[in-house]
Amino acid sequence: MAIFNFSQDLGIDLGTANTLVFIKGKGIVVREPSVVAKNVATGEIEAVGNAARNMIGRTPGNISVIRPMKDGVIADYETTAEMMKYYIKKAMKKRSLFAKKPNVMVCVPSGITMVEERAVIDASKQAGAKDAFPIAEPFAAAIGAGLPVWEPTGSMIVDIGGGTTEVAVISLGGVVTSESIRIAGDKMDEAIINYIRKNYSLMIGERSAESIKMDLGAARQNKSDREMDIRGRDLLTGLPKTISITADEISASLDDIVDAIINAVKVTLENTPPELAADIMDRGIVLSGGGALLKNLDQVISDETRIPVFVTDNPLDSVAIGTGKSLDYIQHFRSSLNVSSRPLN
């Protein structure tokens, strides 16, 4: 397949939790939260990315901190376009004044509707892209994980992001079968918040829940005696309060999320042609995305499917790297209008 060199073109992982921008020849140049602080009175953008994330839970009444992406798709079109404009400008701040507008490859969930996909393309163009090409998130993750996506062999990827979990079987440059569920890292945080509120009458924020997930979270209880002190607001008294919680409690709160991910993997395997299923049994299943870092998740999925499971070397960056590498095959996406990275069934 011909290689096309667009040195100023961008690959964007427009995620629910984080946005990463990849420039050919440079790699990932932007990595910031998909968060925007907006003045509710004037509608003006006050801060984007890290600066906006630091404002969560600390803003006055006239400032609202929002995440314009929800479950992997655009929930607030205008704010998403402004956020993308900020990141594209930041990524290309050193480019020549005479440089042309970049082509942009932007990843989308495999279960996205055509209307939602069009919103992503339009937002990319409004943000300054010459042309925008969508690429299915699991397809990008597979490229970033180094899987042989262009070969006549079956590769299975499970990408667990912030808003969606994408499971796909890929062969010959296309997604053969896939399953997309809007259950991923954010739902894990939400489950932890709900568990602590229900069992301890304590309210904690999203950032605290994420920290708890990374420190104590696991796919299954393992009789761990690890504990962590958590600070929050007592719902009965309204006063600040500190409690101690165990790793097994946090693991128990995540059971339903883990079961949903396992079920998505099983459904995808059930819909996989026998020849490709045999390849997957030989090659194994690859996990990517931030959710792949949940302790014991690879082992639990392997136990449930009886197939080897591996976590890719750079799970947090796989989608962004794959989106950037796909710029080498931009003509493939241009001519096929992304049909080849969509499910064939």
The ranges of the chain with pLDDT < 70 are 1-7, 94-99, 334-345
CA–CA dist 300, 307 (Å, integer): 11
Question: What does CATH list as the number for 10-32+79-139+319-341?
Answer: 3.30.420.40
* The CATH number fitting domain 185-255, selected from 3.90.640.10, 2.60.300.12, 3.40.50.11540, 3.30.70.260: 3.90.640.10
Question: Phi/psi at 82 (nearest 5 deg)?
Answer: -65, -40
Degrees, nearest 5: CA angle 60-62-63: 70
pTM: 0.86
Q: Which residues pair with 246 in a beta bridge?
A: 227
CA trace torsion 91, 13, 188, 243 (10° rounding): -10
The pLDDT value given to residue 295 = 93
Q: Which residues pair with 254 in a beta bridge?
A: none
* DSSP class of 162: S
Is the domain 154-183+259-313 a CATH 3.30.420.40 member?
yes
- Domain spans in the chain, listed from the N-terminal domain onward: 10-32+79-139+319-341, 154-183+259-313, 185-255
- Examine domains 154-183+259-313 and 185-255 and report if their fold is the same: no
pLDDT digits (tens, 9 = 90+) for 156-210: 999 999 999 999 999 998 899 999 999 999 999 999 999 999 999 999 988 899 9
The answer to whether the beta carbons of residues 110 and 138 sit under 8 Å apart is: yes
